[in-house]
């Protein structure tokens, strides 16, 4: 059994992670449409990671005897004025998710739910890495994205990203 508020926030976080997957799939589709299949690949893999995050939280709740209630996932609503928009939107979104994870962490600490804070430690670290990845992508795009030849090379670099399952495994 988990604290009622912690359980509610974790349940909401499942939706946020699945929305993240939707959002990144939308970015991926946009880039594929634009002929930037490397960027498309990068975000498709990011979407897979977000789905993994949702599944980890779902598993954690089930392991603790909590009922999971799945709710409607909103459709992404981004207007893509240029190739940089998804990159800046991704950073904003990661910062939003980091704040959301921290809110759950605060609530768990308040109720001395150290099992949940320990579980969330992995997510705190993961968010740090994801914010850094987003910042790096923006920097690279600013340096190389506006010239055709260097954009081609950046696109190839991003196309080489492969999916790796999360390092956190729950039984
Ligand atoms: Fe779920 O990892 Fe970032 O958002």
**pLDDT tens, residue by residue, 117-171:** 999 999 999 999 999 999 999 999 999 999 999 999 999 999 999 999 999 999 8
Consecutive H or E run containing 101: helix 85-110
Residue 34 falls inside a structural domain: yes
Contacts of 11 (CB under 8 A, 6+ apart): 61, 66, 68, 69
CA 7 – ligand 1 centroid, Å: 19
The tens digit of pLDDT for each residue in 12-63 reads: 999 999 999 999 999 999 999 999 999 999 999 999 999 999 999 999 999 9
Please report, for the domain that includes residue 121, its CATH number: 1.20.1260.10
Residue 165 falls inside a structural domain: no
Q: Which of 50, 166, 168 maximizes ligand 1 atoms within 8 Å of its Cβ, making it the mutation to test the pocket?
A: 50
Residue 164 falls inside a structural domain: no
- The beta-strand segments (E) located in 26-167 are none
Please work out whether the CB of residue 18 comes within 6 Å of at least one atom of ligand 1. Answer: no
* Ligand 1, atom nearest to 97 Cα: 4
Structural domains counted in the chain: 1
Residue 45 falls inside a structural domain: yes
Residue 169 falls inside a structural domain: no
Task: Enter the pTM of the model.
Answer: 0.97
For residue 158 the two structure tokens come to 């991003």
Q: Which domain holds residue 148?
A: 4-69+79-159
Crossing angle of helices 4-33 and 37-63, in 10° steps, is 160
The tens digit of pLDDT for each residue in 64-88 reads: 999 999 999 999 999 999 999 999 9
In order of 10, 97, 123, the CA distances from 128 in angstroms are 19, 11, 9
Quote the CA–CA distance of 72 and 135 in Å, as a whole number.
Answer: 30
């Amino acid at each position: 059994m988990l604290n009622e508020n912690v359980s509610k926030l974790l349940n909401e976080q499942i939706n946020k992670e699945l929305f993240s997957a939707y959002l990144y799939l939308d970015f991926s589709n946009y880039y594929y449409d634009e002929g930037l299949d490397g960027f498309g690949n990068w975000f498709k893999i990011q979407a897979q990671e977000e789905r993994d995050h949702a599944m980890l939280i779902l598993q954690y709740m089930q392991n603790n005897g909590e009922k999971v209630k799945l709710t409607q996932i909103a459709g992404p609503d981004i207007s893509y004025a240029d190739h940089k928009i998804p990159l800046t939107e991704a950073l904003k979104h990661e910062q939003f998710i980091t704040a959301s994870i921290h809110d759950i962490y605060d609530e768990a600490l308040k109720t001395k739910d150290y099992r949940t804070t320990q579980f969330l430690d992995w997510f705190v670290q993961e968010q740090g890495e994801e914010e850094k990845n987003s910042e790096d992508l923006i920097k690279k795009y600013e340096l190389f994205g506006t010239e055709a030849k260097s954009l081609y090379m950046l696109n190839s670099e991003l196309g080489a990203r492969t999916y790796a399952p999360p390092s956190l495994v729950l039984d």
